Amino acid sequence: MRTAATATVLATCALLTLAGCDNDDPVPPAPDAGTRPDAGTGQDAGTQSDAGTEPDAGSVQGPIVTGSTPAEGEQNVVPVELFVAGTTSAARKRVTLTFDTPMDASASQVTRIDQTTPANAPRVLSGTWSEDALTLTVDIPRPESDLPPLEEESRYTLDLAGLRSGEGQPVDTSHAGLGDGRLDFTTGRRDAAMEHACAHALLERPRPVTASASPTVYPATDAPHAFYALTLPSSGASFVGYTEVVSGDGRDEPVVLYLDHAVPVAVHDMTEGEVAVASALEPARSVCVPAITHTLKFTAPGGDRFLRLTFGPTERETFHFVFERY
């Protein structure tokens, strides 16, 4: 990089060349040293801008990660995600990284490093850039047909050293959001029940059911392992409907509805009057989003009890869920 001092010297040389400094004409004597500014009074390299103060390649900030899934340092990350591949389900782990500036779409490789088991060789993975070159999606496949994409309860790192901005800058390794230019996360345990429900939601044709508009007569939606497409009657500006679940004649049964939307559901035991049954609507683990995004959990009391499920009010007329009792 040219400094201001260097630029001055070059400019002076250029002027002298134009004036004919390369010929043999005599040069007029310079003013006496006593009348010229000396090093003590003139501007010198110690006061001029130099390479240490001018912007250079070392001071230009590289691209930074503004968001990722999983997040930096996240714990209990789902190690296996399911998706449809042809007529069957397949496993992968998807990672996304979003940057603050458009990136070089020709550079899309990252390296997955197993911190828990260093004997496992690092894997180079190729991602796919979004159209605006701001988000990179990386799918981690199974290393072998009988192994999961990621192991349970293990620490992993995704090294982003191979990525660069559209201007050629490497990823900033000092930014507080990512730290060392690597995405670090730790997986949790797999969820066998969720994976089972995902298989139903991904591969089966749903059973169509229209909920009742009446709170006294309603269809059943309680077949184990059933995948339902439930349509709700309109109720003013929203939709509300009712279905029935009959409990077993023995023990209390945990029941889970695996939903593709956050639909409010109220549960009542209608066997002898109307008694509220505690239930919880929660975000589901991201095993097969968007096929399953939420779960509704409650305990059906044993003894052939008749339970009414009230869906809504909601803006959605039709949604899907897998019904399971355990």
Nearby residues of 299 by Cβ (< 8 Å), 6 or more positions away: 252, 253, 254, 255, 277, 278
Which pLDDT does position 60 carry in this prediction?
63
DSSP state at residue 320: E
Is residue 228 within 8 A of residue 108, CB to CB? The reply is no
How far is it, in rounded angstroms, from Cα 282 to Cα 300? 18
How far is it, in rounded angstroms, from Cα 256 to Cα 67? 32
Which CATH number does 65-190 carry? 2.60.40.1220
CATH 2.60.40.1220 domain residues, the chain? 65-190
Which pLDDT does position 174 carry in this prediction?
83
Per-residue pLDDT at 9 exceeds 50: no
Regarding beta strands 123-126 and 109-114, do their DSSP bridges make them parallel or antiparallel, or are they unpaired? antiparallel
Question: 37-58, pLDDT tens digit by residue?
Answer: 444 444 444 444 444 444 444 4
Nearby residues of 77 by Cβ (< 8 Å), 6 or more positions away: 70, 150, 185, 186, 187, 188
Q: Average of pLDDT values for 301-319? A: 97
Q: How confident is the model at residue 173 (pLDDT cuts 50, 70, 90)?
A: confident
Which pLDDT does position 98 carry in this prediction?
96
Which pLDDT does position 25 carry in this prediction?
45
Regarding beta strands 135-140 and 226-231, do their DSSP bridges make them parallel or antiparallel, or are they unpaired? unpaired
Regarding beta strands 226-231 and 265-269, do their DSSP bridges make them parallel or antiparallel, or are they unpaired? unpaired
How far is it, in rounded angstroms, from Cα 239 to Cα 314? 5
Q: Is the pTM of this model over 0.85?
A: no
Question: 268-287, pLDDT tens digit by residue?
Answer: 999 999 999 999 999 999 99
Per-residue pLDDT at 12 exceeds 60: no
Which CATH number does 204-325 carry? 2.60.120
The three-point CA angle 183-185-190 to 5° equals: 140
Q: How confident is the model at residue 108 (pLDDT cuts 50, 70, 90)?
A: very high
Question: 118-136, pLDDT tens digit by residue?
Answer: 999 999 999 999 999 999 9
